Amino acid sequence: MRLYLRFFSIHLKSQMQYKTSFLLNIFGRIVLSFATVTGVLFMLSRFNEVVGFTLSQILLCSSVVSMAFSLAEVFARGFDIFPYLLGNGEFDRALVRPRNIVFQVLASHIEFARLGIFIQAVGVLCYAVPYSGVTWTWDKILTLFLMILCGAVVFFGIYLIYASFAFYTTEGLEFMNILTNGGREFGRYPYSIYGKGILKFLTYVVPLALIQYYPLLYLLDRTQNKLYIFTPSLSTLFIIPSYAFFRIGLRRYKSTGS
């Protein structure tokens, strides 16, 4: 942990060398990410609710998904650009170092400018909370934190799978963006609106619904089942097959010779 914090400090200092550029990058991402909110506002200006969810409730679940996605994007950036690491030989250097390879990829790139999405999502959450109709007790506050933190773990698992494919293809597979950026975009609304088939896929295959839809039902008192508090925790099991797939790819890795 101490070593990771050292890398964290190095990346932060290097990116803060040009403070104006750094702050403008964050500001730009905040502005661009409001396009997502604008789309929701346009939708709800015509319809008062979507499948029984009001504007504030939709903004609540949208902000949670955006915050989870942003955390994963900042700290798992090394896996997002993993094909580049393979191509330029940087991954080969990591393999001969006496440290866990996942740790090295994580520590190699931390992009703080991408916190702009997180900041925007916090603002939307602060707006949505008072009007969402949620009675905020300790268990619901816990549920909200689990949705965000466990959601970041799920998105990290998706990035890990994306990186694993690069062992076989060298180049990244763009279809994985359906689950990374697409998961965030689809998360603008409760996942149930996309139909039972999509909801089952996002429950049992890629468990994004476990960090958004099901705990949201508990927050809104649409279920009294206390187990819904811990569905985000259950979603973190997704990291096990993701890591296993990465290890399988790693065993079959052959250097590009760069």
Concatenated DSSP letters for 203-253?
Answer: HHTS-STTTTHHHHHHHTTS---GGGGGHHHHHGGGHHHHHHHHHHHHHT-
User: Is residue 241 within 8 Å of residue 154, measured between CB atoms?
Assistant: no
Which pLDDT score, from 0 to 100, does residue 36 have? 73
Q: pLDDT tens, 43-74?
A: 776 777 787 888 889 999 899 999 999 999 99
pLDDT tens for each residue of 151-180: 999 999 999 999 988 888 766 667 777 888
Residue 118 half-sphere exposure, CB side, CA atoms within 13 Å?
17
pLDDT attached to residue 92: 85
pTM (two decimals): 0.91
pLDDT at 138: 94
CB atoms within 10 A of CB 188: 20
Say what the pLDDT of residue 256 is.
60
State how far the Cα of 87 lies from the Cα of 83, in Å rounded to an integer. 6
For 13, the token pair is 């200092």
| Spans of the chain below 50 pLDDT | none
CA distance 62 to 121: 8
The CB density around residue 182, as the number of other CB atoms within 10 Å, is 14
Q: Strand (E) positions, the chain?
A: 49-50, 53-54
Output the pLDDT for position 166.
86
Evaluated on CA atoms 240, 241, 246, 248, the torsion sign reads positive
pLDDT of residue 199: 93
